[in-house]
Chain A
Amino acid sequence: MKGKKRAVFWRTFLRDTLFLVIVLAVAVVLLGFFPEKRVVVTRVSWKFFVELILILPAVMVLMGLFSVFISRETVVKYLGKTSGLKGFLLALFFGALPTGPLYVAFPLAAVLIQKGARRANIVIFLSAWACIKIPQEVVELQFLGLKFMAARLALITIFVILMGLIIERIINWTEQRPALSKKADHSPDI
């Protein structure tokens, strides 16, 4: 299992590096044909590189620490049973903690459903995991500014809770409907 994981790691790393070489080659050729663009392109790239490299190691360390210290069991324990507004807030909180990519969250969500967690909380948890992650918010703050980040965070929080409730309604409604139509079969036709 560990060997397989390592193989996947190196395969994606090599694939990305190959892609990088291609992009670099394209850039070199383009700048060879348009020497007057060299200054602006390197200046822009350098500026963005510095901005990114000043925060990326810290963001990675935060994610690494949280993924080790907050276990799946903790998340399941807290999200399995809570309800109401507290449930929504906990789902948002655990989703936003800096741990792992979205595909890690799906199996976790499946376990939560088995444990009887509310559908709305699952949707909120997944959506928060996808787009309210604390490391993401930090990078968003760095590149898009406080106003942009704060406004989007507020809107997403509101809409994600609404979306959770709507999806829960729809799923409950469609799961009840077959039962209703079965009943209808037994009732006499009008």
Chain B
Amino acid sequence: MEFSYEVRDSYAEVKADGRLNMVSAPKLREFVTDVIAGGSNRIVVNLEKTAFMDSSGLGALIGCLKAARQAGGDLRIAAVQPQVKMVLQLTSMDKVLTAYPSADEAFSND
């Protein structure tokens, strides 16, 4: 899995391309922690190219969400693909991790 980020006007967009599994989950957590430490506490994780996520990946997203909130911000997810959507719904975590159609829309109403 590959990670990248870009600081936008009101948030930082993190892209996670590949499979978000037990191997990549700790790396996502570390990557987002670094982005937050760099001064961005409003994070959008763009999952457009995340074809797969398991419960480890979900745990990492929840950890990142907590880290963003502890820093006074928030974390939202965008462009969720069908398998990821399924895992979010089956675990009822779709209520906690709000999914937006695109990264642009995630913080557009704040």
Chains A and B form a bound pair: no
Which residues of chain B have a CB within 8 Å of any CB of chain A? none
